[in-house]
Amino acid sequence: MSTPGRPKGEFRNAKHEGTPMSTEITTTVHTERNGSVLQLSIDAPAARNSLSTPGVLEGLLAGLERLDADADLHCAIITGAGGSFSAGGDLRKLSQGSESDVRHAMQRTAWLYRRIAMSDKLVIAAVDGPAFGAGLGLAICCDLVVAGPTARFCCAFVRVGAMPDAALFWSLPARVGIAQARRLMLFANEIDGAQAEAMGLADQFVAEGSALPAAQQLAQRLSHGPTRAYGRIKAGLRAAPMSVDAALAFQLDNAPGLFASQDFREGANAFFEKRKPVFQGR
């Protein structure tokens, strides 16, 4: 049975059995569970957490699959270790590959952005250090972006004679508008965390310390929220901007099921009883 309101052809989550352990460490991606929040940390400092580093793409995809498959996981954080979020692709590999090689690599990495965008669960990027090129794409493909004082964002592709990839023609205009996206793509200006928050590239700027603690606090808050409603909001915004007819059709496909849900009944009862609701994702 298809999920109401999900456009045809969207990514379907794979299912697997078993309860994952709270902490799992691979060579390049550390996976840690804290209650209903899953944290994925890219750890390839020699390559500034490049997405081309062997194991990074696979580790992130495995973590996101785990997020979607486990009903008790409600939210994920993606961050980078060693002072960088991600420097994007490996220029040396890209410059030595053929057109066919690059196309194949892009087809593989496309699953990462699709997995984040199509998931019904929220994913937060905690950005400390550079998020350049495809690393920028990874960060702003996430639903929320928390930037630390060392965060730097750059759509750096034209610096090396390339065009943006990493779903940036979708995610960047959605965040900052077409005019601002055009300037960021054409001029490849470096943006700090405060500037990123001001223009909508980041949702929260942390002036001191690290973005990660703030992202963890935000994730814990969201993990106790109405996760079904979050998923439908995410699906609607993924299709934005909508015509009025498309917006009305989307709400008709999705809202009645939420109003009939246990979470809505709990929310309404909590309102009348003047207490905080306890949502169960049902």
For residue 8, the model assigns a pLDDT of 33
pLDDT at residue 193 greater than cutoff 60? yes
Residue 93's pLDDT band (boundaries 50, 70, 90)? Answer: confident
- CA 36 – CA 70 distance, rounded (Å): 9
How would you classify the pairing of strands 152-154 and 191-192?
A: antiparallel
For residue 94, the model assigns a pLDDT of 72
DSSP letter, residue 280: -
How would you classify the pairing of strands 191-192 and 37-42?
A: unpaired
Tokens 């209903």 belong to residue: 36
Q: Are 29 and 43 in contact (CB under 8 A)?
A: yes
Range of lowest pLDDT (23-27, 154-158, 229-233, 252-256): 23-27
* Entry pTM: 0.88
- What is the share, in percent, of the chain residues with pLDDT greater than 70? 91
- CA 129 – CA 86 distance, rounded (Å): 8
- CA 190 – CA 131 distance, rounded (Å): 10
Question: What is the phi/psi pair of residue 87, to 5°?
Answer: -85, 5
Q: Are 168 and 132 in contact (CB under 8 A)?
A: no
For residue 257, the model assigns a pLDDT of 94
Regarding predicted confidence, which is higher, 16 or 27? Answer: 27
For residue 222, the model assigns a pLDDT of 97
Q: Is 260 left (phi over 0), alpha (psi -120 to 50) or beta?
A: alpha
Instruction: Collect all residues with Cβ–Cβ distance below 8 Å to 101 and sequence separation of at least 6.
Output: none
Report, in angstroms and rounded to the nearest whole number, the Rg of the chain calculated over CA atoms. 19
- CA 239 – CA 246 distance, rounded (Å): 9
Question: What is the phi/psi pair of residue 29, to 5°?
Answer: -135, 125
Range of lowest pLDDT (17-26, 193-202, 258-267): 17-26
Q: Are 108 and 168 in contact (CB under 8 A)?
A: no
Residue 3's pLDDT band (boundaries 50, 70, 90)? Answer: very low
> pLDDT tens digits for 158-178?
999 999 999 999 999 999 999
Mean pLDDT for the stretch of residues 177-206: 98
- CA 150 – CA 132 distance, rounded (Å): 13
pLDDT at residue 9 greater than cutoff 50? no
Mean pLDDT for the stretch of residues 259-280: 94
Mean pLDDT for the stretch of residues 103-107: 86
- CA 227 – CA 261 distance, rounded (Å): 12
Determine the length of the chain. Answer: 282
How would you classify the pairing of strands 75-80 and 122-127?
A: parallel
For residue 24, the model assigns a pLDDT of 55
Domains of the chain as residue ranges with CATH: 23-223 (3.90.226.10), 227-273 (1.10.12)
Regarding predicted confidence, which is higher, 95 or 117? Answer: 117
Mean pLDDT for the stretch of residues 212-222: 97
For residue 214, the model assigns a pLDDT of 97
- CA 91 – CA 97 distance, rounded (Å): 10
- Cis omega (within 30 of 0) on the bond before 4? no
Residue 60's pLDDT band (boundaries 50, 70, 90)? Answer: very high
Q: How many Å is the maximal CA-CA distance in the chain?
A: 65
Q: What is the mean pLDDT of the chain?
A: 89
Mean pLDDT for the stretch of residues 43-67: 94
